[in-house]
Homo-oligomer: A and B are copies of this chain.
Amino acid sequence: MEKSRKADFPVERVRHYLEPGPVVLVSSACDGERDIMTLGWHTVMEFSPSLVGCLISAGNHSFELVRRSGECVINLPTAAMVDTVIGIGNTHGDAIDKFDHFGLTAESSDRVAAPAIAECHAQFECRLVDDRLVTDRNFFVFEVIRARVAPEPAWPETLHYTGDGVFMISGRHIDRRQQFRPGML
């Protein structure tokens, strides 16, 4: 897999990549440990501050790294990375270093200590801002404080999980801008 060159991207526009519901890879680090997990349960929650809510099941090795550090990076893999995405979801960070095991490049982040994944299309550096639902629902509210995105393609093919081993691949895009009231875009 190749690393992708990225440019800064406005954090208040992360919906462009996250709102359609792609599977993401969440990377984190704490006390010399690092991990990656596959995650499909997330939602945009606000434009500015740029908030994203994520369900990180407590059974994941990443859970404690994210909870203790209060940080993570949400990385967007393309559909070409499907085997890696499945592999990461099938393994446990207790036993292996997933960067090494899957040949992924840990890239320094700008605003958080958690490493980003250089091979992904986009990386969103996050800070935990609300942990009220963490303990009993595993639900983390993050603020995206820095976003870096590969400029091309504008619409990468993304993976959308449906359960039972089946992924939907993002399809065509339709522009209906003219049907929207200003302010409703």
Contact = CB atoms under 8 A, between A and B. Distances in A.
A57 to B, nearest CB: 9
B179 A168 contact: no
B181 A90 contact: yes
Given A90-B184, A130-B133, A141-B137, A177 B160 contact: no
A169 B173 contact: yes
Q: Which size class do A's interface residues fall under?
A: 35 or more
A104 interface: no
B45 A86 contact: no
A67 interface: no
A44 to B, nearest CB: 5
Contacts of A172: 168-169, 171
Q: How often does this chain occur in the complex, in copies?
A: 2
A48 interface: no
Nearest to A82: B176
Contact of A139 (B13, B22, B53, B138): B53
Contacts of A90: 179-181, 184
A40 B178 CA distance: 19
27 contacts: A15-B163, A16-B163, A17-B162, A19-B161, A19-B163, A20-B161, A20-B162, A43-B43, A43-B53, A43-B54, A45-B137, A45-B138, A53-B55, A87-B179, A90-B181, A137-B141, A160-B160, A164-B177, A165-B178, A165-B179, A165-B180, A166-B173, A166-B177, A167-B174, A168-B173, A169-B173, A169-B174
Given A130-B133, A164-B185, 12 more contacts: A15-B161, A15-B163, A19-B41, A19-B163, A41-B45, A45-B55, A53-B53, A130-B137, A163-B185, A166-B175, A166-B177, A169-B173
